[in-house]
Structure 1
Amino acid sequence: MTTAPDLTVSTMAAAPGEPQAAILPRIKLSRRGYAIDHPDPRLGEQLMANALGVADRDAMDGILRQLVRASVNGGKPCEVNLAFMIAMVKSIRPRDSVEAMLVAQMVSVHVMAMRCAQHLAHADDLAQHDSAARALGRLARTFPAQIEALNRYRSHGEPAITVQNVKVEDGGNAIVGNVTQHASVIVSGETPAPAVRAPKAASARRTHEPADAGQDAEA
């Protein structure tokens, strides 16, 4: 692989005569590793670093090597899988090193999930079926959790705010002031009036007084 200086340019570069959105170069695999297939090695590495969301050559090399290992199919890395994974990373557009690592994990989890789905479809016995089904279930739950983590990171941990229109018809009342909402209970800033307890209902059964002792004596 051709050695090049560290990549410090964060914006995509383009050679003279090429459009600004240059085509992402492909990766060629060999026994010695990988190589970026581009007539200009420096520009090829720059385009690849931009696609992966990293700013230097070491970070680009590390992410690419991890994706190469995750693309293994049939015991060896697969250029088709790798090209798909890099294209997916580029489409999500990671903006820094944290997003680059998280997005690389996301595409790797997706590839492994689809691999488990293939194993599940070709399972020969119940043990293989159950093993593939469990692995697929864990990976399928992991992927949306990664999406949520990426969204939280991009929003700097701020909770989403939903704004709804409130209409008050004639004769209706609106709460003015601070309103705190917990679950389905809305508490206004005003102190509510104390609740009035309803009187207890009379007992259905009445207590019978014992007969007068004097009357029993006369009897």
Structure 2
Amino acid sequence: MSAVARLLLTRGIPVSGSELHEWPTLAALHALGGTIFRTHQATNLDGVDTVVYSSAIPADHIELVTARERGLRVLHRAQALAITMNGRRAIAVSGTHGKTTTTSMVTLVLQHAGLDPSFVIGGEISEVGSNAHHGSGDYFVAEADESDRSFLLYRPHVGIVTNIDADHLNTYGDLGKLEEAFVEFCSHVDPAGFVVICADDPGARRLIARARQLGTTVYTYG
């Protein structure tokens, strides 16, 4: 959530949030003009028109309940991120493992090419000292989380799949349904774009033929 907040703040959009614990990222958000409440209560939403929440927030959370009672616009984190991607050539990095590392690598390559991409990453890039940036370039690089199916909300120009393992089965039930979700992810890639898939990973390798059957251009590595 801190990465989305940072991105919005650097775009000049006022952001407030609630957090009971002290985290290093809070000081950075405050320095950018963010308002941090140290309690969870309904009055934190006074003057707010949109509430963004993550999958970690329970449905009965006081601020989420209040937002819906007040008729505010309520967005899942991935929905908000998808909106910020509009108008950019999005690169969505998915996979059971290695998303943060791969997203960071793609971002640094584009930065060193002078393309100044926007990015939102699950961890901080040490070379940049940040987990998010609103760039002036056409590209937007984002980590796409499959754990709660939210990666299916994106419509990227480029999709990357690092690997597919039997994980998050509390969401999917079995590996087969998880693999079907990655097929759907590939189907959402811009027809003028492409998908990059790791051919060394058995799960990802099974995806290659399925993605090509959709008419998606697929490049492999490994």
TM over 0.5: no
Choose between structure 1 and 2: higher helix proportion.
1
TM-score, normalised to structure 1, is 0.22
Q: Which has the higher contact order (CA 8 A, sep 6+)?
A: 2
- Which structure: larger Rg? 1
Larger strand proportion, structure 1 or 2? 2
